[in-house]
Amino acid sequence: MAKARTLLPVAVDTLFAPATFDFDLYIRPDPSGPALLYREHSFPFERGDVDRLMRRGVTTLYIPDTGAASYQRYVHQEILSNTSLPPGQRFEALTAAGRMTFYEAFADGQVDRMIAFAEDLAGRVVDILCQREMVLFDLFRVMRHDHHTYTHVTNVCGYCLALAERAGVSDRNELASIGAGALLHDIGKRHVPRSLLNKPGRLTDPEREVIQRHPSVGFEELSPRQDLSWGQLMMVYQHHERLNGRGYPVRLQADEIHPWAKLCAVVDVFDALTCQRPYRRPWPVKEAMAYLHERAGSEFDKEMVQCWMAAMNSAR
């Protein structure tokens, strides 16, 4: 039996026309339906294609995972080096390419590649976000809101950096370290069966225990390395801990939790709530913020929640 083709999303406005790509383009007319071939790689992608897609409200096309490397080269050569483009557009292209790199490394279990990718992508995101015309509203607008792990971690990276800046972190190296830690925070999930991560129904207690081991598994895998800081390791290990001791994996409390893990916990939950999940629709931003506000000081660091709320309010 032939292996099922895996399709990866790319934003239409990261495909500059006219151009001829090394990969086929697919479209999904019905979000819940199958993807259909839109343009073979041997046919040029024209400006008229972009206009027609935008008029139809189509902002995302899909490419086979075999074309990921080619798309990444295209992004770096044609988009990231073009400083005349708006930061939001460059950020969207960067995270799209990043999702593909993470997908490949995640699937193959290439830890060295994942760490190198995290460091490179975090540094590039910091450079874009430090341009003051890129505000949190733009950041939220270009995030993809599906449930895939490799989408979630790029979202959390951007949010962590936005929150860290709002909380007073200004050193570029520290911001890049926080961003890389955010990209790695769910690395333990690659040892969780995909059937559990994408299960549409309620988890059984044994299934929940398997998923809740991912922070410990990720920490155990990364802790022997010399190229990660303690703060980054704690983002991996502690991002599900809660101030009241009711988190996991070891029920730490308050000051036992590293500040970077407290920061990560806030935006990790925000992104999880506002993303499409197999078992529920995404929450509106207002409801997600109310959820965090109600639990500030008991589950989540109060200052971090206040900073995040202030950042979101100023961006709207």
Active site residues: 189
Q: Which residue type does 264 have?
A: C
Question: In whole angstroms, what is the distance from residue 120 CA to residue 184 CA?
Answer: 12
Q: List phi, psi (to 5°) of 123.
A: -60, -40
DSSP 121-153: HHHHHHHHHTSTT--HHHHHHHS--S--HHHHH
From its phi and psi, is residue 8 left (phi > 0), alpha (psi between -120 and 50) or beta? beta
b/e burial code for range 271-290 (CB count within 10 A of at least 16 → b): bbbbbeeeeeebbeeeebbe
CA angle 124, 129, 130 (to 5 degrees): 100
Q: How far is CA 85 from CA 55, 97, 115, in A?
A: 22, 17, 28
Smallest Cα–Cα separation from 136: which of 116, 158, 152, 120? 158
